[in-house]
Amino acid sequence: MVVLAGTGGNGCGALVCARRLHTWGANVQVVVTRPATDFTPVPAHQLDILQRMKVPIAEAETVSQPGSPALIVDGLIGYRLKGAPHGAVSDLIRWANAQPTPILALDVPSGFDPASGTVFDRAIQDTATMTLALPKAGLHAPGVETYVGELYLADISVPPSLYAEPALALEVGPLFAESEILRLR
C-alpha cells in the first residue's frame, strides 16, 4: 500500500493511517511531498514515529513503484486547499491517477475544494472518500462523483456538544451509535 502524505493536517491523518496499516501487518510505503524538516509539528511527530518503526518513507521525486500497489491512500491536501495543486503534489496526483489501483482519499480528494466542489486541473480521482466528522458541502456538488467515488463518514470522536455550538447549530444525535463508519453514497 502506498500512503501519500502532505505536510499539514491531512498528511498527519495519512501518517496515522500508515502507522495503523503497518501495525495490522500491511506492507506500507509512505511518500511525502517535502523533507521532514518542512512538516508542521503534529505531522512531524507522526512522521518521526513511522521512521522509528522503520516504515519505508520516500520523497515524492523518488516514486517509481514497480507494478501496482493494492491501495493508494490520498492524504496530500485537505480542506485548506488554496488554488490548484502544483509541484510535488501535482506530480503525485498525476502518478496516483495513472495507477490501476483503488484510491482512498482522507477527508477530501486532493485538488478538490471541499466548500464549493470546484475540481482543479490536477485532482485525485478516488474510488472512495472517507470524510471526517461531517460531510463537507462540496462533496455533494453536481458532477463531483468521478473525483469523490463512494462517500463515507468516519467518527473522529467529535463530541455532540461541539456540533450544537452557535457556529454550526446542529443537533446530530448519536450519529455513530451503530458504526464508526457510515456510507453516505
**Per-residue confidence of the chain (185 residues) as pLDDT tens digits?**
999 999 988 899 999 999 999 999 999 999 999 999 999 899 999 999 999 999 999 988 766 655 689 999 999 987 777 778 888 999 999 999 999 999 999 999 999 888 888 888 889 999 999 998 888 889 989 989 889 999 999 988 888 888 888 888 888 888 888 899 999 98
Query: Quick one: CA dihedral 43, 48, 52, 58, positive or negative?
Result: positive
Residue pair 29/64 in contact by the 8 Å Cβ criterion: no
DSSP H/E element including 170: none
Contact between 182 and 176 under an 8 Å Cβ cutoff? The reply is: yes
* Per-residue confidence (pLDDT) for residue 15, from 0 to 100: 96
Residues 6+ apart with CB under 8 A from 129: 104, 105, 107, 108, 109, 139, 148, 149, 150, 151, 152
CB 113 within 8 A of CB 120: yes
Instruction: Extract the C-alpha cell encoding 5.
Output: 502524505
Give me 174's grid cell.
448519536
Grid coordinates belonging to 15: 501518517
Contact 52, 88 (CB under 8 A): no
Q: What pTM value is reported for the model?
A: 0.90
Q: Classify 142 as helix, strand or coil.
A: coil
Q: Which helix (H) or strand (E) holds 44?
A: helix 41-52
The DSSP call for residue 180 is: S
The answer to whether domain 2-183 has CATH 3.40.50.10260 is yes
Distances (CA, A) of 168 to 51, 117, 171, 174: 38, 20, 9, 16
* Cβ(150)–Cβ(183) below 8 Å: yes
